[in-house]
Amino acid sequence: MDMHTAYQAACLGQFNVMAFSRLAAAISVVRSALEQKKTKIPLALETLDRAIEELVAVRKRGDDTGIWELVESERPSVFEGIDMAEQCIGTLDVALLAQTAARLLGDVFGEQEEEARSE
């Protein structure tokens, strides 16, 4: 996924839930894989965490309003997170990334099933 293209679309108000989901997933997978690998890359986890926090705010706003965009104040953290994810992805094993993505996807589906049962 080209995270910078998704970022530019988000800044222009041309973001949608699918592009948002892909961007958030890509950053989350890299972050989780780095944590599993016990990365030594300075500030990697902190930078990715800040980007994820901003994306959580975008998601809440998007769910409430149907408008999926990055406001000016959210852009620096998300941009830095994208850059960090791109720098770090080359240090990660493809199998680890695939396993991490599968685990995170399973976690999301497990949460959705739990929510459906509680309703």
Angle between helices 94-118 and 17-37 (to 10 degrees): 120
For the segment 50-72, the average pLDDT, to the nearest whole number, is 92
Q: What pLDDT score does 21 carry?
A: 87
Q: Are 104 and 33 in contact (CB under 8 A)?
A: no
Q: What pLDDT score does 18 carry?
A: 87
Q: What pLDDT score does 106 carry?
A: 85
Pick from 78, 76, 73: nearest CA to 23: 78
Which pTM does this prediction carry?
Answer: 0.84
Q: Is the pLDDT of residue 110 over 80?
A: no
Q: Are 90 and 98 in contact (CB under 8 A)?
A: no
Q: What pLDDT score does 115 carry?
A: 56
Percentage of the chain surpassing pLDDT 70?
90
Averaged pLDDT of the chain: 88
Q: What pLDDT score does 116 carry?
A: 53
Q: What pLDDT score does 112 carry?
A: 54
